[in-house]
Amino acid sequence: MKKDKIRNVAIVAHVDHGKTTLVDGILRSSGVFRENEAVKDRVMDSGDIEKERGITILSKNTAVLYKDYKINIIDTPGHADFGGEVERVLKMADGVVLVVDAFEGPMPQTKFVLSKAFELKLPVLVCINKVDRKEARVAEVEDEILSLFIQMDADESYLDSPFIYASARNGWASSSLDEPKENMNDLLDKIISYIPEPEGDENALFKLLISTTDFNDYVGRIGIGKINSGKVKVGDELLIVNHNEKDKRKKIHITKIYEFEGLKRVEVQSSSAGNIVALSGVEGINIGDTLTDPEDDSPLEFVKISEPTLAVKFSVNTSPFAGREGKFVTSRQIRSRLYKELETDVSLRVEDTDSTDSFKVSGRGELHISVLIENMRREGFEFMISKPEVLFKKDENGKLLEPIENVTIDCDEIYVGNIIEKLGSRKAELIDMKPGRSGYTRLIFKVPARGMIGYRQEFLTDTRGNGILNSEFYGYEPFKGEIPKRILGSLIAFETGTASAYGLGAAQERGLLFVVPGDEVYEGMVVGQNPKGLDVEVNVCKKKQQTNIRSSAADEKIQLTPAKIMSLEELMEFIEEDEFIEITPKSLRLRKDILDSNLRYKSKKYKK
């Protein structure tokens, strides 16, 4: 297809503002699905975790044919932890559709994705979504978006960006709020008229920047990117070079070329400048590499990815239950899997440590790392992780710097005092406080990243689950001082065995339990939390002694308080420095680093 008939557009937005649902509507409007075809919601979220959590983790490519035009669409993640995906895939786009919730308005991640679009000078088409909501405040949100453009020092041309109004869930978009439509045609028309055709000379030498990669058991490594110039056909000999790795030079032969059509990759014999393609026969290729004609070995510049801010240690499982549930348990298998993740996740860092059984994994946030852990669990891996720790830096004068997050909170006015007090103790700085939407108050803080570890669950409890918390990386600032540690202590199993109702009944007097009758426990395993802040050993396996003396009081039924079963993210927030989370395909367990109580006591005494 000729270059002037191609449009490459990325859908960007804050998390949960409706990007993926909007893509669903576009696919339906363009006839990708039959009228009677049953299609699941958020069809672009193909991963199990994406479907379960309702978030986009990896960017996806699709394409629709509309009025003789081919519109290549890139669905991007909205969560800050996956910002690395957004940064790199925007290199394939010639414009963006910014989706904003008609009720929530611009949020922290809206600002982040916009800043990346502005850096690349991409035109922005604004789509105000969910206009059919009762609480929608479209006019105010329009003003807020334009104010955001001004606040971010955007070029004046962005103030003339067109607005489209949509209800992605109901499958329509309209250029006028007063004229709801039955399809997404108004949005598609505006993409064609407003987003420019791709640049690049079809007659120049071939060049393509790899923005994302995939793997197929049959054809091996697949590189995906936009052809910047020239043409490519099956059998061509190309060179792999990299802007950041000057010594990288490798010759390859292209075995297959795919273009995107709906949700499929369609094999073609050749393609030219402006098209987004997937190429196989490119073993050894990585994100950021340039595929180029051997006559011109100059690489294309790759966008600088933001640095990780959080690190977790992955270790071989050493608990008494090690190897029971996992398929891959050795350090070699764990190491191989972690380094394989680097091929598709440019925001991740993996380092070997002094121990051959441990690896340091650094990412953009708790969610970023927890998704990797969850994927490994489902693949059959068994391992342990340590308490997440933030990554510090030093400036040229040797002064310690730490990562700071911009935290935006929307909550009911009655919770404001408690939130300010809690975050204040975590060295937060209140930047702004103003009345928000529907009686909510909006608070904006600058908080050290380490101060946010363990706070999200506390926040949900403090606001009865009604508060909304969003954060984005702000930058590095001088160290803010010590932050009080977790005020809760651990209840630690005294022996290995099976938890009994009798033992749990006695143990629950010391605090909230994490296990139920019938659960297997081992010595040194954390089985609950103690509100007094002390680590206490409890015997949850204790059985009631059988005697021939009976009394009415002794035979009363034991009433157990429901156990608190924590998710992976909750455990990552709860864990202390002398603890590990044991992760297997079937179980999540919290344990002490030193399992033996006598050795643990001597270790503490020695440290003091």
For residue 304, is it within any domain?
A: no
What CATH code is carried by the domain that includes residue 213?
2.40.30.10
What CATH code is carried by the domain that includes residue 355?
3.30.70.870
Closest CA relative to residue 260, chosen from 82, 57, 1 = 1
**What single-letter amino acid sits at 33?**
F
For residue 577, is it within any domain?
A: yes
Q: Do 41 and 175 belong to one domain?
A: yes
Of 382, 402, 421, the position where a domain reaches its end is 382
Cβ–Cβ contacts within 10 Å for residue 179, how many? Answer: 9
Q: Do 516 and 566 belong to one domain?
A: yes
For residue 306, is it within any domain?
A: no
Q: Which residues, 6+ apart, have CB-to-CB distance to 321 below 8 Å?
A: 520, 522, 582, 584, 587, 589
Q: Do 88 and 184 belong to one domain?
A: yes
In a 13 Å sphere around the CA of 456, the CA atoms on its Cβ side amount to: 19
What CATH code is carried by the domain that includes residue 31?
3.40.50.300
Q: Which residue has the higher pLDDT, 552 or 599?
A: 599
Q: Do 22 and 57 belong to one domain?
A: yes
The answer to whether 532 is a known ligand-binding residue is: no
Q: Which residues, 6+ apart, have CB-to-CB distance to 490 below 8 Å?
A: 526, 528, 529, 530, 535, 536, 576, 579, 590, 592
pLDDT in tens, 41-97: 434 434 444 344 444 434 457 888 888 888 888 877 655 545 556 767 788 889 999
**Summary mean pLDDT of the chain:** 82
Phi and psi, residue 355, nearest 5°: -95, 140
Question: Would you state the pLDDT for residue 353?
Answer: 92
Confidence check: pLDDT of 530 > 50: yes
Cβ–Cβ contacts within 10 Å for residue 399, how many? Answer: 10
The answer to whether 16 is a known ligand-binding residue is: yes
For residue 387, is it within any domain?
A: no
pLDDT in tens, 139-185: 989 998 999 888 888 888 888 899 999 888 888 888 888 777 788 88
Q: Do 557 and 498 belong to one domain?
A: yes
The answer to whether 132 is a known ligand-binding residue is: yes
Q: What is the mean pLDDT of residues 274-287?
A: 81
The answer to whether 130 is a known ligand-binding residue is: yes
Question: Residues 475, 592: contact at Cβ < 8 Å?
Answer: no
Closest CA relative to residue 348, chosen from 333, 330, 360, 334 = 360
Closest CA relative to residue 491, chosen from 443, 519, 533, 463 = 533
For residue 484, is it within any domain?
A: no
Using the 8-state DSSP alphabet, how is residue 355 labeled? S
Q: Do 516 and 549 belong to one domain?
A: yes
For residue 309, is it within any domain?
A: no
- Whole-number CA gyration radius for the chain: 27
CA dihedral 420, 425, 426, 427 (to 10 degrees): 90
* Tokens matching residue 129: 């979504």
| Banded pLDDT at 297 (limits 50, 70, 90) | confident
The answer to whether 236 is a known ligand-binding residue is: no
What CATH code is carried by the domain that includes residue 406?
3.30.70.240
Domain count for the chain, please give it: 5
* Tokens matching residue 440: 């909510």
Residue 153 falls in which region: left (phi positive, over 0), alpha (psi -120 to 50) or beta = left
Q: What is the pTM of this model?
A: 0.74
pLDDT in tens, 305-364: 667 888 999 999 999 999 999 999 999 999 999 998 887 777 789 999 999 999 999 988
Beta strands in 198-342 (DSSP E): 207-216, 220-229, 231-233, 237-242, 250-253, 256-261, 264-268, 270-272, 276-280, 289-292, 310-315
CA atoms of 604 and 596, how far apart (whole Å): 12
Residue 511 falls in which region: left (phi positive, over 0), alpha (psi -120 to 50) or beta = left
CA atoms of 588 and 582, how far apart (whole Å): 6
Q: Do 101 and 67 belong to one domain?
A: yes
For residue 556, give the 3-state DSSP assignment. coil
Q: What is the mean pLDDT of residues 284-303?
A: 83
Q: Which residue has the higher pLDDT, 45 or 427?
A: 427
Q: Do 351 and 403 belong to one domain?
A: no
Phi and psi, residue 199, nearest 5°: -85, 170
Q: Do 30 and 178 belong to one domain?
A: yes
**What single-letter amino acid sits at 146?**
L
| Range(s) of the domain holding residue 503 | 489-607
> Sheet containing 69-75: which strands, arranged edge to edge?
60-66, 69-75, 6-13, 95-101, 124-129, 163-167, 172-174
The answer to whether 41 is a known ligand-binding residue is: no
* Tokens matching residue 389: 């720790």
Using the 8-state DSSP alphabet, how is residue 32 labeled? S
Q: Do 117 and 254 belong to one domain?
A: no
For residue 346, is it within any domain?
A: yes
